[in-house]
Amino acid sequence: MRSVEALRARGYRGRVTLIGDEVHRPYDRPPLSKAVLSGGMDSTLVDSDLGALDVDLRTGVAAKGLRPGTLETTEGEIEYDGLVIATGAAPIRLRGEGPQHVLRTIDDALALRALLLPGARVAVVGAGWIGAEVATAARRAGCEVTVVEAAAAPLSAALGPEVGGRTASWYAEAGIGLRLGAMVGSVDPGGLTMMDGSWVPADVVVTGIGVRPNVGWLAGSGVEVDDGVMVDEHLRTSLPGVVAAGDCANWWSRRFGRRMRVEHWDGALYAPEAAVATLLGDPAVYDPIPYFWSEQFDRMVQYAGDHRGARLMWRGDPVAGRGWAACWLDAEERLVAILTVDLPRDLVQGRRIIQSRQRLDTDRAKDPSTPLRDCL
């Protein structure tokens, strides 16, 4: 949807066809694990005037294959001069014959919400971003919640065990059971069979262990794929006239000097502008500072940057207070990533500092009462 808006905003007046395998009009995903799951809203439709955009919207239609100039779909072939691949990603499911729920679509969210009844036993597999938000909503609904995580700490994959470990106490405070280092063998009727032979009873099982890019349909197309669609800094694929954006795009970052595939709404919001510019012959460099937020356990958690290979520095005391931050610095003491808990000002200022590539006075930056902008 953002790509369609970007095309029209740039003056393109030709035919635009938008297809998607869901039956719904385009909608936003972030509220699904937050307001929708908690009952605060039932719809997250994007507020766009499809008529004014003059777009041929085809819902319930999936991409099947691609060859130069032709897109193969479940409803026939569509010829194209330019193509934006934005097929996103699909949740990974666990083995087993028991029912398990994932949270990716509006239908997933509404179906799961209907099961979060007072007293229901809910097992959440995965203590990542989605797992924490689902556990928060389930507990608020009065469910008995147990979260099982294969790693030694929550959010280990996203933040590393040292920082992720600082969130473990949040589960106990909320009255949620947390089992770490716990591997699921299978999802069975009535609960989870663990690899160690133990049993976790559950009326509802929610699997939140990650996603895989939806790129299988591109096999044999000439589009290079490897953990997503491989694109350059302009979001161009290996096939002329084809770009990719969103969760499925594996793009090259000049800023961080590495490939990145970011599964956050911020990318879906801003990448299409660069992709469309490139498609229309005015190549734009896509090199954002990745950003993400999560609402969990009555806390606002925000992250910006990329901390791989960087040195960790604490800002404030995660044990003593609610407002704290984790900062990551490169070899030259420049801020490259920041995680904030209930410190929105730090996130805003930290993101600007990452953008400017300025060095931090680390002694001053450790004190959360000193604004980050005054620690350069």
For position 322, what pLDDT does the model report? 78
In the block, tokens 């097929």 appear at 87
For position 343, what pLDDT does the model report? 96
* Contacts by 42-46, CB closer than 8 A, 24 or more apart: 42/110, 43/106, 44/106, 46/1
User: Which domains does the chain show, CATH number per domain?
Assistant: 2-90+211-279 (3.50.50.60), 93-207 (3.50.50.60), 298-374 (3.30.390.30)
- Whether residue 164 contacts residue 154, with contact meaning beta carbons closer than 8 Å, is answered with yes
- Whether residue 303 contacts residue 265, with contact meaning beta carbons closer than 8 Å, is answered with no
Rounded to whole angstroms, the Cα distance separating 107 from 217 reads 23
Rounded to whole angstroms, the Cα distance separating 342 from 237 reads 39
For position 319, what pLDDT does the model report? 86
For position 99, what pLDDT does the model report? 97
DSSP 31: G
pTM: 0.95
> Count of CB atoms within 10 A of residue 248's CB?
24
Per-residue pLDDT of the chain (376 residues; tens, 9 = 90+): 999 999 999 999 999 999 999 999 999 999 999 999 999 999 999 999 999 999 999 999 999 999 999 999 999 999 999 999 999 999 999 999 999 999 999 999 999 999 999 999 999 999 999 999 999 999 999 999 999 999 999 999 999 999 999 999 999 999 999 999 999 999 999 999 999 999 999 999 999 999 999 999 999 999 999 999 999 999 999 999 999 999 999 999 999 999 999 999 999 999 999 999 999 999 999 999 999 999 999 999 999 999 999 999 999 999 877 799 999 999 999 999 999 999 999 999 999 999 999 999 999 999 999 999 999 9
Rounded to whole angstroms, the Cα distance separating 293 from 351 reads 13
Q: At residue 59, what are phi and psi to the nearest 5 degrees?
A: -90, 160
